[in-house]
Amino acid sequence: MSKQQDFYSHLAQELQGIRDAGLYKGERIIATPQGAHIRTVAPDGTTRDVLNLCANNYLGLSSHPDVVAAAHEALRTHGYGLSSVRFICGTQDLHKTLEARLSRFLGTEDTILYAAAFDANGGLFEPLLGEQDAVISDELNHASIIDGIRLCKAKRYRYKHNDMADLERCLQQAASDGARFTLVFTDGVFSMDGTIARLDTMRALCDTYGALLGIDECHASGFVGATGRGTHEYRGVFGKIDIITGTLGKALGGASGGF
């Protein structure tokens, strides 16, 4: 048996082991628009009408008639593909319009669109922070935040989940270690357990120690806060956050896209 055949045989054995352990994840195929009620199709063709409790389509916007109509209009006026990366000739007026609207909605100076929020977090820390700097992260932050932090050269600190005393300890340590700039970064709403970051206290602590404050709003933008602007609105610090990342693919109803 060749090395190539050995490899494929190895993969087959690994997959079978996953199935035997009851850990194999099969896809749930959905044959209707996303919504609270959907129809699934089994491998044998059997269909079931079910209540969907696991989607990120919190407001039901992904199949809202106005969203669908806007998508049709954009296809009619601008076509489908970008035909280039943005910095060559792929930036269209639609991009700038969306970036401006997001900035107004979130209370920021400007916005940069990404293909996904994972990319936004992955591309955030390395360009902004160097060896002289510090980044402080909640221990339960999303994997994309953790991966993004790993790519930068800043000194890393981690505080216990939503523990403001431990955050202050990290801020003091970063200052003692001589950090030039310090960035505290947290999920706004933590996706795995639903806790909400204490941004009001965090903003006060960051101001005390001269640190920047950033939040990932993937599970907050669109529905948390009095007008859905996110965790910073909910905690009373709207317009006082230095960096915000998020997604268009959850509550805001998009197919993909981050900022």
Whether 142 sits among the annotated catalytic residues: the reply is no
**Nearby residues of 222 by Cβ (< 8 Å), 6 or more positions away:** 58, 59, 61, 228, 230, 250, 251, 252
Cα 224 from chain centroid?
15
Nearest to residue 247, comparing CAs of 213, 220, 227?
Answer: 220
Whether 96 sits among the annotated catalytic residues: the reply is no
The number of C-alpha atoms within 13 Å of 212 and in the hemisphere containing its C-beta is 17
Q: What is the Cα–Cα distance from 230 to 224, expressed in whole angstroms?
A: 5
Whether 176 sits among the annotated catalytic residues: the reply is no
From 142, 155, 219, 232, active-site residue: 219
From 95, 103, 191, 240, active-site residue: 191
Provide the pairing of β-strand 182-187 with 37-41: unpaired
In three-state secondary structure terms, 97 is helix
What residues are labeled active site? 191, 219, 250
